[in-house]
Amino acid sequence: MREYQHHWKDGTPIHFPLGKIVCVGRNYAAHAEELNNPIPETPLLFIKPASSAMYITRPLAPPRDQGSVHFETELAVLIGQPLSAATETQARDAILGYGLALDLTLRDVQSELKTKGHPWERAKAFDGACPLSPFISAQGLSPETLHFTLDINGERRQTGDTGDMLNPVVPLIQHISQIFSLQPGDVILTGTPAGVGALESGHTLSLSLLPDPERDPALFVETTVV
């Protein structure tokens, strides 16, 4: 199990333990379409355990014996207050920070699981399946207008805009809190846009979080695949 602790962009530790990582699938219509998946009527939720988290800046060494490993770039939302059956106002107020994450997926394993109607954890919850960036403060940022990108070896592969989400950030957090409680330190992965693909050795991944796409990123991280 990899040791992991939330940090701010400047390296200051965030003294909330990581409890769980709640993920939403198919939250961008174009991504659902690229994998020939139907768009769900309600948020499609699954959980990655804390043991799946790792620092995104460390080299990625995904499993090589279980078929293709896909990258899925996502906006990560750090929860800073307890939430249970929250209102939208409470959900918004509980957002402590924003970061970036890779929802690494054993795609061949997932496809087989889906065919059998089985849960996805074997494909989504393995050690190292959730590389996480440092976080930036949510203060002054609107969750409705955030942008993020992924470049691989200098080529743009994914572009996300929270305005394109089928389930926007705040209503999504509110919905999750109706199902199970959220605690400070929990992380919400809000879904990936179109453009997912296989990781290969030698890839350099550059991820940016942009409150305004016309300005420099508020957060930029790089990682490599070994």
User: Cα(110)–Cα(35) distance, rounded to whole angstroms?
Assistant: 12
Reduce the DSSP state of residue 122 to 3 states and report it: helix
For 211-220, b where at least 16 C-beta lie within 10 A, e where not — what string? beeeeebbbe
Q: Decide: 22 and 189 in contact? Cβ < 8 Å.
A: yes
Contact 205, 195 (CB under 8 A): no
The residue count of the chain comes to 226
Per-residue pLDDT band for 34 (boundaries 50, 70, 90) equals confident
Distance in angstroms (rounded) separating the CA atoms of residues 44 and 96:
23
Q: State the pLDDT at residue 1.
A: 43
What pLDDT does 26 receive? 93
Tell me what the pLDDT averaged over the chain comes to: 95
In the DSSP assignment, the letter for residue 138 is -
State both tokens at 59: 């080299």
For 155-207, the pLDDT digits (tens) are: 999 999 999 999 999 999 999 999 999 999 999 999 999 999 999 999 999 99
pLDDT at position 167 is: 96
How many C-beta atoms surround the C-beta of residue 39 within 10 A?
13
Q: What Å distances lie between residue 124 and 47, 135, 144, 146, 186, CA to CA?
A: 9, 22, 27, 25, 17
Contact 226, 63 (CB under 8 A): no
Q: Once rounded to an integer, what is the mean pLDDT over residues 50-71?
A: 96
Residue written as token pair 């249970």: 84
Distance CA 226, CA 215 (A): 32
Which pLDDT score is estimated for 2? 55
Instruction: Identify the structural domains of the chain with CATH numbers, from first to last.
Output: 20-213 (3.90.850.10)
Q: Is a pLDDT exceeding 80 seen at residue 32?
A: no
pLDDT at 132: 98
